[in-house]
Amino acid sequence: MRLKTWAAMILCLTGTISVYSLDLVLIPISYYEKQGTNYVQKTYRRDITGDIAEKLDTYYEVTIDKMPLGDRLAGATDFDARRAAESYHINDVLYGTIKGDENSLIAELKLYNMRRETYELIYASDHVSQYERLIKTISERIMDWYGTSQDKVDALRFEVRQLRSELAFLKEETEQDEAEKKERRAKEEIEKTFKLGVPLSLGYWSYTKQPWVELVQGTVEVRAGIDIYPELQFSSFGKASEVSLGLHLGYRNGVRGNRERLVVNGITVNPLLGYHVNFYTRNWLCLGAGIFYELMYWKITGTGFEERTGQSLTGFSAAVEYSYQLNRQTAINFGMNLNGYFVEDTSPVIRFYLGTMIRIGRGAP
């Protein structure tokens, strides 16, 4: 993986950059005073922790730890240092003690680095009356250990700002590259191919006006045809879509069983334009519209006479269809087709159907 990708990933995961060499946690320094042969923890007349923090704060971002120690009388231990580093997500932790007797003050501080798992001892001593000089000395030795000066720290801070800017730029560039790759993959997934479909369906249809409903019952229809899918596959609303041009042929048969007998036979020719959208994995929705030509043949048998008549009509058709793709060539369809006639005193026909679609072509729909 490229370096800039790793850098961008690190930036994304952390959200910010911790400059460990400039951040420091300071655990409060304990003061012990010699009484006889032992040292006893006391409260010094000056704020030792605050004074050291003030000296270092010029060069470092110092945070004073407020959490209670594991053993208050023993002072800060290595365990407290590791706990503070993990809690503040900072590499360097400063802790330790200052001991005093009648003549001297002795500072024994430790600098723990979490990344390297090291403990560096920093030592300084001075006369009991030279507290401020002791604090200055121990602070300078801490800075000497880092090998820094004001100029070096400023330069480092400048480099850090540059690094942050570069990583932010790399993050933006990487996100843009990923977005472009994703878009290219999406375009490649929509394979533009010419395909043919052969729909076969069996349906039930009915008239919508009451007189016609009472007259004709038991109506069924068988349809077959051919659908052409030009190379018009595209993406709409983030979904794979395609357009089809179809020519469907249907045969209808309707009868009425009562005193008189009525038989209706019809042949329908239906050119149709379809819009197909893949709304979830193998599931497709189709909206269709077109015109149709219908040739009807009526046979009415009454008492003592028989009548035959023919009729040809034209009209518009609209369809809504749900399709489940079994594999690259075969689908199961369920839908509804509405046929409306261009002449007065005719009833629109609603047809529900169940069928299959066999596709011929290189790509899946």
Each residue's pLDDT tens digit, 152-187: 556 566 667 778 888 888 888 888 888 877 766 655
- Average of per-residue pLDDT values in the chain: 81
Query: For 261-270, what is each residue's pLDDT tens digit?
Result: 667 788 999 9
Q: Lowest-pLDDT range, 4-18, 140-154, 280-294?
A: 4-18
Q: Within this chain, do residues 289 and 142 fall inside the same structural domain, yes or no?
A: no
Q: Lowest-pLDDT range, 9-18, 20-29, 345-354?
A: 9-18
pLDDT at position 17, please? 38
- Which DSSP state fits 57? T
Per-residue pLDDT at 313 exceeds 80: yes
Q: Are 347 and 207 in contact (CB under 8 A)?
A: yes
Strand partners, 25: 63, 93
Strongest mean pLDDT among 161-165, 206-210, 329-333: 329-333
pLDDT at position 218, please? 64
Q: Within this chain, do residues 233 and 147 fall inside the same structural domain, yes or no?
A: no
pLDDT at position 111, please? 92
Strand partners, 136: none
What percentage of residues in the chain have a pLDDT greater than 70? Answer: 78
Q: Within this chain, do residues 213 and 354 fall inside the same structural domain, yes or no?
A: yes
Per-residue pLDDT at 11 exceeds 50: no
What is the average pLDDT across 26-38? 92
Residue 353 burial class via C-beta count within 10 angstroms: exposed 0-12, middle 13-18, buried 19 and up: buried
Residue 114 sits in a domain of what CATH number?
3.40.50.10070
Residue with tokens 């121990």: 138
Is residue 159 within a helix (H) or strand (E), and if so which, with residue range?
Answer: helix 150-189
Q: Within this chain, do residues 200 and 136 fall inside the same structural domain, yes or no?
A: no
Per-residue pLDDT at 12 exceeds 50: no
Query: How many domains, the chain?
Result: 2
Q: Within this chain, do residues 202 and 350 fall inside the same structural domain, yes or no?
A: yes
pLDDT at position 10, please? 43
Helix (H, G, I), strand (E, B) or coil at 138: helix
Angle formed at CA 67 by CA 75 and CA 27, multiple of 5 degrees: 50
Residue 288 sits in a domain of what CATH number?
2.40.160.20
Is residue 83 within a helix (H) or strand (E), and if so which, with residue range?
Answer: helix 78-88
What's the pTM? 0.45
Report if residue 318 sits inside a domain: yes
* pLDDT classification of 314: cutoffs 50, 70, 90: very high
Structure tokens at 153: 């720290």
pLDDT at position 235, please? 75
What is the average pLDDT across 140-150? 73
Residues 6+ apart with CB under 8 A from 20: 90, 91, 92, 115
Which of 152, 179, 206 terminates a domain? The answer is 152
Of 319, 341, 330, nearest to 203 by C-alpha is 319
Report if residue 230 sits inside a domain: yes
Residue 37 burial class via C-beta count within 10 angstroms: exposed 0-12, middle 13-18, buried 19 and up: exposed
Q: Within this chain, do residues 195 and 312 fall inside the same structural domain, yes or no?
A: yes
Q: Are 250 and 267 in contact (CB under 8 A)?
A: yes
Q: Within this chain, do residues 201 and 148 fall inside the same structural domain, yes or no?
A: no
Report if residue 173 sits inside a domain: no
Angle formed at CA 258 by CA 256 and CA 264, multiple of 5 degrees: 20
Q: Within this chain, do residues 107 and 11 fall inside the same structural domain, yes or no?
A: yes
pLDDT at position 8, please? 41
Q: Which range of residues forms the domain containing residue 284?
A: 190-360
